[in-house]
Structure 1
């Protein structure tokens, strides 16, 4: 595999379009601002700039090299624009992997999280185009923990692709429709010796990689919200995804996924539930496919069901400079339809809190054939292993958000 490739052409074009359009509109906005009758009235800028720098402390019981020390993890920069009608957002990320994290050589990765521009209509509906998030399932996130749910590693949570998305509200109904001709491409990687990082997997969200690629994906998501009282409400939803799969090894075909989901808030408590099923119908009927993210690829069973059950509670109060305490327990599982495969599951018990611009996640994780929580890494969500597949992980993420 060739190393150090630039971002794909599709991502570059999206970035150029977004930047050029934003600059052109800003110029027009500035010219109009010169004609404001009352020059003393302050005009709030539609631009927002920010970012974050994060480090992580990790203890992994099945890896002797991952037992302690706080290390640098992520640097990100972001830009946003919203003048009431024209909207846009972009985020670029840099990751560093130390030798302790990889068990081998150190490496670096640069990638786009998202980059889109759009328009908000008078009825508050929105149409956006660019690298944006799939409106599927529990949206935008299934839970609270730093590592997200098993749906994320299968490519069905917090997933970004290149295309268009339309969102609107009609009373209690919220509808989102999206079409993605491309998965959005990948970023670039570098490492010192062994080329353990994969360019095609240099992505924020998990997609098909290597011999397979996602094409022409359509998604529909509809939810219905209802209030039970002043501080209690529920959201019931259905999501459907259909898309093409291109292949370099004569395994092309299509994929389908359907999900039923529920999100409820009851005062300080919250519940999130999801049941989904997915199926890759491909030539040759392979039982696993490669999915990649953050520079590494893993096997995924081509047919399965994913279940998510999350509960959280906002404790409130303060301890010194810290506040916003939320405790949670978040469980997810992958039930594979191939009879010879072993199922996957993960459970995360955690606490999040902050102080000013600093935010902390402290998660205790138990995993079985789970990508980042058990010793079966490459094939955990594929065939898996019936024995020696359980893991424990303590992860404390400390971020400064500006």
Structure 2
């Protein structure tokens, strides 16, 4: 920097200097006034602290009839404080939570030549939306699903909690029958799902009451969802019965029918044998009617004995079920089910046994946090009219990785829907083969 670039000191005249001195004097006076106010506040605080200390000492010295210290909040005060805090939390929380999932499916079917030629097929499985929430004692739960071939209501109910142990629901509710919430571990459920006795939903009322170690469920189900004889349904519902022939046979006859006015009762006891072992034995009963286009077509009943056992990382599910549809039409040989945009067929009476075992393994493999290895076995037998038994075995593993959940299933079955067969094959169709498939279901849940 040259001398020509150096800054030049400013020059003030006498009037400017006098003005600056006056401003400084004013600032000094303001500072002294603030210091005086601060000293007064400190003195006042010191006096208040002394008074509070004296009051605390006096309160500690008081003992009148062993009454609690009045300066401490009573249980009523604590309850009021908690209610206020809960009310604030409820106000700040969203009353209805929105969730859902997007799922894709890869399937390689050994019994399908086209599937073998293309080394399997990758398809869009499901897009679903969930609504769940609670305002005071009123609860909402609903789920809508979109498939390539249909849209369905999975469930949709409004509930009221009369007490912490007693809940009543109305709407499209889960049928409380057998092991809950599921009687299986795999994507394909157990064979009882395809007979309408696992993860089934219908329109009506249901209630759950917990009494200590006991859980009691009951339901009155007016009719299926949707109310009719079609196939646009998540649940496997009876939509009619036929004479047992193949639908392509010119002598084939079918009569529409749907379950109505079904009553269900279920009881389950939780026994914690020790820190590692918990047993949940239970019984389920069901009774209802079938109604056709204009008349009653018969009655039906079912019952089941079931057990869930948890030991350390192991889980066991066992169930025995027996059901019978007493139809007025003597020509009725098979039930017709409607779901997933197609019809399947089943016996009018049968017995069933299911067994599923699973082992949960926590891991730390990148985003993967849990593996669940399982094997589910089902058998439906002692069917009416000597119809061949059904069996299915699913070996697989489910994987949890953050919001991603995946099933890897190897399925073997005979006379099993979705595995190249039916619970009740057409009369004269011959001995069904054992069919196999490999399936991967991948979903993102939010």
Q: If the length of structure 2 is used for normalisation, what is the TM-score?
A: 0.73
Preserved CA contact (<8 Å) 1:251 1:284:
no
1:355 Cα deviation from its structure 2 partner:
1.1
> Residue 251 and residue 387 in structure 1: after superposition, are their counterparts in 2 closer, same or farther (change >3 A)?
farther
The aligned counterpart of 1:8 is: none
Kindly indicate which of the two structures has a greater share of residues assigned to strand: 1
Residue 282 (1) aligns with residue 334 (2): no
| Partner in structure 2 of residue 31 of structure 1 | none
Q: Deviations over 1:319-346 (max 9, x none)?
A: 2221210000000011133243111010
- 1:44 equivalent in alignment to 2:85: no
When residues 384 and 139 of structure 1 are mapped into structure 2, their CA distance, relative to the original with a 3 A threshold, is: farther
> Is 1:315 aligned to 2:367, yes or no?
no
Whether the 8 Å contact between 1:186 and 1:202 is mirrored in structure 2 is no
Question: Which residue in 2 is equivalent to 1:393?
Answer: 437
TM-superposition CA deviations, 1:247-306 (whole Å, max 9, x none): 248770110000000001001001000001000011023221101111111111001011
- Structure 1 window deviating more from structure 2 (333-342 vs 222-231): it is 333-342
Tell me the distance in 2 between the aligned counterparts of 1:58 and 1:152: 20
The equivalent of 1:235 in structure 2 is: 280
Aligned to 2:184: 143
What are the within-5 Å matches in structure 2 for residues 168-247 of structure 1?
A: 168-185=209-226, 200-210=230-240, 211-247=256-292
For 2:366 and 2:344, the matched residues in 1 are separated by 43
| 229-238 vs 148-157, which moves further | 229-238
1:304 to 347, 350, 357: 350
Q: Does 1:335 align with 2:335?
A: no
**Equivalent runs, 1:301-380 vs 2, <5 Å:** 301-373=347-419, 375-377=420-422, 379-380=424-425
The equivalent position to 1:263 in structure 2, one of 286, 289, 308, is 308
Q: How does 1:109-124 map to 2 (within 5 A)?
A: 109-124=150-165
Higher helix share: 2
Deviation at 1:78, TM superposition (A): 1.1
SS of 2:196's partner is: coil
CA distance in 2, matches of 1:165, 1:269: 31
The more displaced of 299-308 and 242-251 is: 242-251
Using the alignment, how far apart are the partners of 2:316 and 2:156 within structure 1?
30
The Cα of 1:377 is off from its aligned counterpart by 4.3
| CA–CA distance in structure 2, aligned partners of residues 213 and 311 of structure 1 | 34
- Matching residue of 2:297: 252
**CA distance in 2: counterparts of 1:347 and 1:254, whole angstroms:** 31
Counterpart of 1:151 in 2: which secondary structure?
Answer: helix
Count residues with an aligned counterpart: 343
Q: CA deviation at 1:144?
A: 1.0
Task: Note the residue ranges of structure 2 that are not aligned, 5 or more in a row.
Answer: 1-83, 241-255
More divergent stretch after superposition (389-398 vs 331-340): 331-340
User: Which whole-Å deviations, capped at 9, do the CAs of 1:181-218 have from their partners, x for residues lacking one?
Assistant: 1112169xxxxxxxxxxx81110001111511110000
Q: Which moved more, 1:214-223 or 1:230-239?
A: 230-239
Q: Distance in 1 between matches of 2:411 and 2:279?
A: 28
Report the counterpart of residue 73 of structure 1 in structure 2.
125
Change (3 A) 1:366 1:203: same
Greater length-normalized contact order (CA 8 Å, ≥ 6 residues apart):
1
Out of 107, 131, 137, the residue aligned to residue 172 of structure 2 is 131
Cα displacement (A) at 1:122: 2.3
Counterpart CA distance in 1 for 2:153 and 2:212 is 34
How far off is 1:43 after superposition? 2.4
After TM superposition, give the deviation of residue 233 of structure 1 in Å.
0.3
CA contact (8 A) 2:388 2:424 kept: no
Q: Distance in 1 between matches of 2:183 and 2:127?
A: 24
Aligned-residue RMSD, C-alpha? 2.2
Flag as ranges the 4+ runs of structure 1 deviating above 6 A.
36-42
Label 1:69 to 1:281 Cα distance change in 2 as closer, same or farther (>3 A): closer
**1:293 corresponds to 2:332:** no
Give the structure with higher Rg (CA). 2
Q: Aligned equivalents of 2:427 and 2:155: distance in 1?
A: 32
Distance in 1 (alpha carbons) for counterparts of 2:87 and 2:110: 63
